[in-house]
Amino acid sequence: MQRKIAIPRELLVDEELMLPGMTSCQGCAAPISMKIALKALGNRTVIVFPACCFCVFQGGYPYSNLKVPVIHCPFETSAVVASGAAAALDVRGEKDTTVMVWAGDGGTFDIGIQALSGAAERNDNILFVCYDNEAYMNTGIQRSSATPMGAWTTTTPAGSLKSEPKKDIEQIMLAHHIAYMATASPAYPDDLYRKFQKARQITGMKFIHLLSACPPGWRIDPADSVRTMRLATQSRVFPIYEVTKQTGAAPGEDTWEYDITVIPEKEVPVSDYLKSQGRFRLMTDDMVMKIQKQADRKWRDLVEKRDATRLSGV
């Protein structure tokens, strides 16, 4: 029996909200995520783009290949522009429209983090999506704080590979006590679909961290894009989970429910994931071991939190 990707069939064959003709590289994973996300969100969606590959390849003025309203904004301002758009819709009484930021890792982890932190702290009613290809890809593969340890980029070349670990954006967002925080991967499209559907129904700040393979930046064959992301989850380098706020009886009594939503079909060592990509080719065994330890620790931590959630009966 095949593990069927459970997305309602009528949506799969329905009119697409994303058109072809975009200039994304062969095998770029970001459009797969967008296509599925828009199926979940529907056409009552406003997208805010900071500078990133996606905003460029989906069409510069006077073109746009997304059949929903799109606002292009300066790099560091996406969250605050979205907050403004959400406030405007609120004033007009349009309650059924989702305002979604679609930003790269540079626009989230680095340049966009101030505005993002503000919107999160205010619990503004927006959905902030980071499609994380783990470097500044649009400008030619420069290191970001999302670049994993041991990766090659044009600014961490051979001889000085990135030595700092990837910034833990998920913990940063959770520290803001937001309504919903999830990770997702287009390698598991039905999980991704369900999370966007869920986010659409939650009022307040939602953050979705998407892994997004970039064949030129990751030094992989375009055809291996999805397979590589699947390995990321199977090796637990990128576990797929969600954290949902359960509103308490009084302010300060909120709790957060953890769920691991994709239990991978098999477990593989992180080296299987790392070895499949040219950007990690120069990594030392020592670094691989460190990544393995980090992955193990993160998984244990998640399982603990999930089990604690279950025990507490939320």
Partner 1 sequence: MSVKKRSEMAVRYEFKSYRDITPMHVSTGNMLYNKTGSWRFIKPVYEDKTPACQNACPAGNDIEGWLKLLGKREFEKAYWHLKREEPFPAILGRVCFRFCETACNRAGLDSSIGIRELERFIGDQAISGASYPDVLPDNGKRLAVIGSGPAGMSAAYFARYLGFAVTIFDKEDLPGGILRLGIPAYRLPREVVAAEFDGLVRMGVEMKLHTEIGRDISMEDIVSTFDYVFLATGAHQSLSLDMAESSGCGRIMSGLSLLQRVARGESPELGQRVVVIGGGNTAVDAARTAIRLGSQVTVLYRRSESEMPAHPEDVREACEEGVVFRFLAAPEHICLLPDATIEKLVCCEMTPGPLDATGRCTPVRKEGMTFDVPADTLVTAIGEAPALDYLQSFMLNTASSFIETQADLSVACRLPGKAKVFAGGDAGQTPRTVVHAVASGKRAAIAMDCDRKGLDAANVFQQIQVGDGSAISFSRYMSWLPVNPVPRNDQCVVDRRKIVYDYFIKAPGLRKVIQPGELRKTAFTPYQPSLTPDEALTEAARCMHCGRCTECDNCLIFCPDVSILDQTRDSFGYAIDYDYCKGCGICFAECPRNAISMIEE
Ligand X SMILES: Cc1ncc(C[n+]2csc(CCOP(=O)(O)OP(=O)(O)O)c2C)c(N)n1
Q: Which positions from 44 through 63 interact with ligand X, judged by CB under 6 A?
A: 51-53
Q: Which residue is nearest to ligand X (CB)?
A: 104
Closest approach of Cβ 22 to ligand SF4, in Å?
9
Which DSSP category does 74 fall into?
A: -
Q: Which does 57 bind (CB under 5 to 8 A by kind): Mg ion, ligand SF4, ligand X, none?
A: ligand SF4
Q: Which residue is nearest to Mg ion (CB)?
A: 104
- The enclosing H or E element of 309 equals helix 285-312
Q: Which does 75 bind (CB under 5 to 8 A by kind): ligand X, ligand SF4, Mg ion, none?
A: ligand X
Q: What is the pairing mode between strands 180-184 and 255-260?
A: unpaired
Among 62, 93, 251, 252, binds partner 1 (CB under 8 A): 62
Asked if residue 83 binds ligand SF4 (CB under 6 A), the reply is no
Judged by beta carbon, residue 105 or residue 242, the one nearer Mg ion is 105
Strand, helix or coil for residue 220: coil
Token pair 């940063």 in the structure block, residue: 172
Closest approach of Cβ 229 to ligand X, in Å?
15
Residues making contact with Mg ion (CB under 5 A)? 104-105, 133, 137
Q: Is the backbone peptide bond immediately before 189 cis, with ω within 30 degrees of 0?
A: no
Strand, helix or coil for residue 271: helix
Among 150, 189, 217, 239, binds partner 1 (CB under 8 A): 189
Calpha distance 163→140 (Å, rounded): 20
Contact 46, 99 (CB under 8 A): yes
Asked if residue 254 binds partner 1 (CB under 8 A), the reply is no
**Per-residue x/- track, 260-299, partner 1 (CB under 8 A):** -----xx---------------------------------
Using alpha carbons, list the distances in angstroms from residue 161 to 115, 120, 149, 276: 30, 33, 8, 17
Judged by beta carbon, residue 5 or residue 88, the one nearer partner 1 is 5
CA torsion, ordered 214, 67, 180, 107, to nearest 10 deg = 50
Which DSSP category does 32 fall into?
A: H
Q: Which positions from 4 through 23 interact with partner 1, judged by CB under 8 A?
A: 4-5, 7, 9, 12-13, 15-16, 18-23
Q: Which does 216 bind (CB under 5 to 8 A by kind): ligand X, ligand SF4, partner 1, none?
A: ligand SF4
Task: Name the nearest CA neighbour of 131 among 202, 52, 187, 211.
Answer: 211
Closest approach of Cβ 251 to ligand X, in Å?
35
